[in-house]
Amino acid sequence: MTIPHRSNTQPLHTPLLDDNIVDEAIGWYLRLKDSSATPHDRQAFETWLSRDPRHQLAYQKAKQLWQEIDAPARLFALQRAPQTTPKRLPKQPRWGWALAVTCLLGMLLSFELWREPAHLDHLMADTTTAPGQTQHLQLADGSSLLLDGNSALDIDLNETQRGLTLRRGRLWVDAAKDPQRPLIVTAGEASVRVIGTHFSVMRSGDRVTVTVAEGQVVVSDSLDHQAMLVGGQQIALQDGALGPVSPMEIPLARAWKEGRIIFDDAEIGEVVAQLERMLPGRVLLDTQAFSELRLSGSFHANQPAALLETLTDVVGITVHHLPGNLLWLRPTHTR
């Protein structure tokens, strides 16, 4: 059962605007921002605007809301620019055109990496998983791994060492015992040293979380500070620095391994990180608008639609599906 709650409860009211109308308004806003928009497009827009009194309100809301994510909007417009017919420009030296093309390609690449940040990690890693996909791996030393969705992993096993590098995502490790070759798991600035145990490592941006189900591990940060964890304990590293050791319920820690996603008083950032493991693309939102939101509930790991439905129908979040595999979350009702 899902139990969302806020620290300050606000009454819910029936929205004045249908989501389909707002989506249409966003489409018109993006179309008119494009330099390829024609007089016919503008005339069609005016016709649409006058067709329903709600269209004017929806367009103003779309304009206001899109400005909240101005940087993505500019990058989206830039992505569309190569499809338009360029205007005739004065002749420039060849090196000038080459520089312009290089800058354009660089910006397009930056947009693509922002929209799909996993691309680079997936290109460089030994083993990867797509969003919503998990993968079991059996290593030559007898260790067993489970790689969660949208994850990337490097594996380095030889006669003298056992090394794993989690580039992104989440990893469960059932490590085989080998006193001569401790297993070292690296995730960003975090280093986890084990001999034989069961634990998980999650890497999301600059945050790394290590959870131990059984046995012992030693976690080190970028300043060589160390913490010993035993079964039922968890530690998080933010920007390379160790946080405090905290207790963790093992069934909760193992839930994703068994195909369940459980939120226990989770902040919106945790929910977004999970959505990006389940779906391709990015999730956009104003974190300040959701600073008071907490979510508790259990979901199937392979059913992101159920989580999105809870956000829209129960929690009071409007979800817009934008071009380029972008999800835009905003409060259904603002103060």
Q: Which domains does the chain have, with CATH numbers?
A: 19-118 (no CATH), 128-254 (2.60.120.1440), 257-331 (3.55.50.30)
Q: What is the pLDDT of residue 300?
A: 92
pLDDT < 50 positions in the chain: 1-15, 71-115, 335
Distance CA 302, CA 279 (A): 10
Q: What is the pLDDT of residue 216?
A: 94
Distance CA 209, CA 28 (A): 42
Beta bridge pairs of residue 127: 153
Compute the half-sphere exposure of residue 166: CA atoms within 13 Å on the CB side of its CA.
33
Q: CA separation (Å) from 26 to 213, 217, 299, 322?
A: 47, 50, 30, 9
- Beta-strand relationship, 198-204 and 317-322: unpaired
Do 150 and 129 form a contact (C-beta atoms < 8 A)? yes
pTM across the whole model: 0.65
Angle at 32 (CA atoms; ends 26, 36), nearest 5 degrees: 130
Q: What is the pLDDT of residue 3?
A: 43
Radius of gyration for the chain, computed over Cα atoms and rounded to the nearest angstrom: 24
Structure tokens at 190: 């975090």
Distance CA 217, CA 189 (A): 16
Residue 56 neighbours by CB under 8 Å, 6+ apart: 49
Distance CA 283, CA 322 (A): 10
Q: What is the pLDDT of residue 334?
A: 56
Q: What is the pLDDT of residue 98?
A: 47
Distance CA 83, CA 96 (A): 21
pLDDT, tens only, 130-183 = 888 999 999 999 999 999 998 999 999 988 889 999 999 999 999 999 988 999
What are the backbone dihedrals phi and psi of residue 261, each rounded to the nearest 5 degrees, phi first? Answer: -115, 120
Closest CA to 201 of 171, 236, 168, 226: 171
The sign of the CA dihedral 250, 251, 256, 262 is: negative
Q: What is the pLDDT of residue 97?
A: 42
Per DSSP (E only), the strands in 21-180 are 127-128, 135-138, 144-147, 152-157, 162-174
Distance CA 248, CA 233 (A): 5
